[in-house]
């Protein structure tokens, strides 16, 4: 099994080297692949969402991959396959799934929220239970992972159930300007199809790891995990019982990919990526960072304490916005809690500011706002 973990890590390193500045995206896809859970990529066009998934899929040597760009007019036949004409003549309603989603080991559905009602129910079952059901037909899907992508978040309530099927939400943005030169060089290499040796892993090796993932001991972090879920719910972040159960698979995958057979506190880093709205991204990062920051285990996942050095001006700007909101608005209890959570997050970010004078000034502003908040409680 150690050999299979090494193979998967080699594959992920290859994809990260190919797409500079996207380590977090690739690592999260690796976690989902191990846990056999679905991932959602959110970000503007031109951020390599499709290319990253395509490159990862290419490393699964014996895998059949299915990629499709959904539109409002996409029909079930385009995703699941047409009815088998020969069987239809014999009075049987069977689907010819050759080369279609029901036979794929890795599925990528771009612009997923264009899914219409004609395909929605079948898609929901495929994503949730890894089962294809059409009429009397029922088929277990071999899919190792489903990945969906979109430039926008769902606004139609009918699509909330679809969004809920993606356990991890990955924010894919343009790379940091400091890395742009490396991106240009790597992109040029990719455009010119310069041959590089592609590492490979087999489908059955991934399935073996997925089964092993189920045996990871979560007892060391169980109490903290339970309290974290309760805390997040109290903050206003909706986590259903079903999602709370499934999130344990991601924590186990973080442990396994690091070569451990039991989870540690820092494996909770995956919970930073369970947001429903953009506003929740910062709140989650602040809460989870405070939960895991005391863990200094040398075998922590590299993404566990990946705190980006904040821009002091941006942090101060965000603090000023919170001060203005608190001073000028009549706030509900929930809105007050949101401000408190954002302030805690900014307090955490402030600890990473390198310039001591800027750090002290911002800390004073944060402390001053806390005093005002405490006076109104």
DSSP characters over 176-223:
PGGGHHHHHHHHHHHHTT---PPP-B-HHHHHHHHHHHTT-B-GGGHH
- SS3 (DSSP) at 60: strand
- What is the predicted pLDDT for the residue at 87? 64
User: Concatenated DSSP letters for 97-109?
Assistant: -TTSGGG-SEEEE
Bridge-partner residues for 83, per DSSP? 95
pLDDT at 177 over 70: no
What is the pLDDT averaged over residues 109-131?
89
Map tokens 């031109």 to a residue. 46
* Local confidence band at 71 (pLDDT 50, 70, 90 cut-offs): very high
At 67 the pLDDT is: 94
Give 296-310 pLDDT, tens digit per residue: 788 889 888 665 556
Give the tokens for residue 214: 């189920």
Secondary structure letter of residue 165 according to DSSP: T
Is residue 301 within 8 Å of residue 258, measured between CB atoms?
yes
The values of phi and psi at residue 132, to 5°, are -105, 120
Which of 104, 177, 182, 178 is closest to 147 using CA atoms?
104
pLDDT at 183 over 70: no
Calculate the CA 302 to chain-centre distance: 16
Q: Where are the beta strands (DSSP E) in the chain?
A: 39-42, 65-69, 106-110, 131-134, 137-140, 145-150, 168-171
pLDDT digits (tens, 9 = 90+) for 140-159: 999 999 999 999 998 888 78
Report, as an integer, the average pLDDT of 337-357. 80
Average pLDDT over residues 165-184: 80
Q: Quote the CA–CA distance of 273 and 107 in Å, as a whole number.
A: 20
Work out the mean pLDDT of the chain and round it to a whole number. Answer: 87
User: What letter would DSSP give residue 148?
Assistant: E
| Model pLDDT, residue 307 | 56
Average pLDDT over residues 117-128: 87
What is the model's pLDDT at position 305? 67
Contact indicator for 57, 65 with CB cutoff of 8 Å: yes
pLDDT category of residue 41 using cuts at 50, 70 and 90: very high
Q: Is the pLDDT of residue 251 over 90?
A: yes
**φ/ψ of residue 282, rounded to 5:** -70, -40
Work out the pLDDT band at 377, boundaries 50, 70, 90.
Answer: low
Integer CA distances (angstroms), 306 to 96, 104, 124, 271, in order: 46, 33, 33, 14
Highest averaged pLDDT of the listed ranges 100-109, 174-183, 331-340, 347-356 = 100-109
At residue 124's C-alpha, the angle toward residues 123 and 128, to 5°, is 120
Residues 106, 130 contacting (CB under 8 angstroms): no
As a whole number of Å, the CA-based R_g of the chain is: 23
User: For 223-244, what is each residue's pLDDT tens digit?
Assistant: 999 999 999 998 889 899 999 9
If you classify domain 2-191 with CATH, what class do you get?
A: alpha beta
Edge-first strand order for the sheet with 145-150 is 65-69, 106-110, 145-150, 39-42, 168-171
Residue % of the chain over a pLDDT of 70: 90
Q: How many separate helices (H) and strands (E) can be counted in the chain?
A: 15, 7
Flag whether pLDDT at 200 surpasses 70.
Answer: yes
């Amino acid at each position: 099994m150690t050999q299979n973990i090494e193979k998967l890590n080699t594959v992920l390193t290859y994809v990260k080297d190919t797409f500079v500045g996207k380590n977090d995206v690739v690592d999260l896809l690796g976690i989902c692949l191990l846990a056999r859970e679905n991932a959602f990529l959110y970000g503007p066009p031109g951020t390599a969402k499709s290319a990253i998934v395509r490159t990862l899929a290419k490393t699964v040597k014996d895998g059949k991959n299915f990629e499709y760009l959904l539109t409002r007019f996409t029909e079930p036949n385009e995703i699941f396959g047409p009815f088998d004409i020969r069987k239809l003549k014999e009075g049987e309603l069977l689907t010819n799934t050759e080369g279609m989603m029901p036979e794929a080991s890795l599925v990528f559905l771009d612009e997923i929220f264009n899914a219409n009602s004609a395909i929605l129910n079948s898609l929901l079952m495929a994503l949730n239970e890894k089962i294809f059901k059409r009429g009397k037909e029922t088929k277990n899907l071999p899919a190792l992972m489903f990945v969906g992508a979109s430039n926008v978040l769902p606004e139609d309530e009918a699509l909330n159930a679809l969004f809920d099927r993606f356990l991890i939400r990955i924010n894919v943005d343009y790379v940091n300007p400091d890395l742009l030169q490396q991106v240009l060089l790597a992109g040029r290499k990719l455009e010119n199809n310069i041959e590089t040796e592609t590492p490979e892993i087999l489908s059955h090796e991934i399935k073996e790891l997925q089964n092993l993932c189920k045996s990871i001991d979560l007892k060391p972090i169980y109490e903290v995990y339970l309290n974290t879920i309760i805390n997040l719910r109290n903050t206003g972040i909706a986590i259903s019982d079903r999602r709370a159960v499934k999130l344990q698979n991601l924590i186990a995958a973080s442990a396994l990919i690091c070569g451990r057979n039991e989870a540690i506190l820092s494996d909770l880093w995956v919970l930073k990526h369970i947001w429903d709205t953009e506003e929740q991204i910062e709140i989650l990062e602040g809460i989870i960072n405070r939960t895991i920051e005391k863990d200094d285990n040398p075998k922590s996942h590299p993404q566990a304490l990946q705190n980006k050095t904040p821009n002091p001006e941006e942090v101060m700007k965000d603090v000023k916005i919170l001060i203005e909101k608190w001073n000028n608005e009549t706030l509900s209890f929930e809105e007050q809690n949101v401000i408190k959570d954002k302030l805690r997050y900014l307090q955490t970010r402030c600890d990473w500011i390198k310039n001591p004078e800027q750090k002290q000034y911002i800390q004073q502003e944060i402390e001053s706002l806390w005093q005002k908040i405490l006076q109104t409680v």
